[in-house]
């Protein structure tokens, strides 16, 4: 029969483990909410041809899409905003996987409507973005769009 001390140590370990796990889940839920809010603001800035997008991206941000002419820096993206007509409808659920306390991968399927430099955007796409927390705020560091075949999930 285990001693009272051992039993107490086991119960305390289980209790503090459960409390720590609950706190971690609460922090993760708060981060996910903040990332989704920042992502919505960034999408809205692009839809409105708004240079406010700069504050929602890291200075070393890179975007890779099938419609840009190659990898784009923040300056490249902002300079091309007048050539970008863009509407996005998210299809299904947005997935956010925390990569640590200050980094996350956000991904989803979407339907795009619009054009870039007069060329139509791919209709069905898969979007993935890496978000990082800097100075207490979430910002997008990397953005990639992959065109999907018609009928792809």
Spans of all domains in the chain: 4-147
The model's pTM is 0.78
How many CB atoms are located within 10 Å of the residue 49 CB?
14
Mean pLDDT of 37-59: 87
Which class is 4-147 in CATH?
alpha beta
Please indicate whether residue 24 or residue 70 has the higher confidence score (pLDDT).
70
pLDDT recorded at residue 23: 46
- What is the token pair recorded at 44? 């809205």
- 73 vs 26, more confident: 73
Per-residue pLDDT at 114? 94
| Residue the block writes with tokens 């863009």 | 86
Which residue is listed with tokens 């041809």? 49
């Amino acid at each position: 029969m285990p001693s009272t001390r051992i039993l107490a140590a086991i119960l305390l370990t289980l209790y503090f483990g459960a409390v720590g796990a609950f706190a971690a889940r609460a922090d993760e839920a708060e981060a996910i909410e903040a990332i989704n809010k920042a992502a919505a603001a960034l999408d809205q800035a692009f839809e409105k041809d708004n240079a406010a997008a700069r504050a929602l991206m890291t200075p070393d941000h890179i975007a890779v899409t099938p419609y840009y002419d190659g990898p784009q820096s923040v300056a490249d993206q902002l300079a091309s905003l007048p050539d970008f007509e863009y509407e996005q409808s998210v299809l299904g659920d947005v997935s956010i996987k925390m990569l640590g306390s200050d980094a996350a991968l956000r991904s989803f399927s979407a339907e795009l409507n619009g054009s870039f430099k007069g060329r139509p955007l791919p209709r069905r796409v898969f979007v993935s973005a890496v978000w990082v927390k800097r100075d207490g705020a979430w910002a997008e560091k990397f953005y990639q769009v992959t065109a999907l075949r018609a009928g792809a999930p």
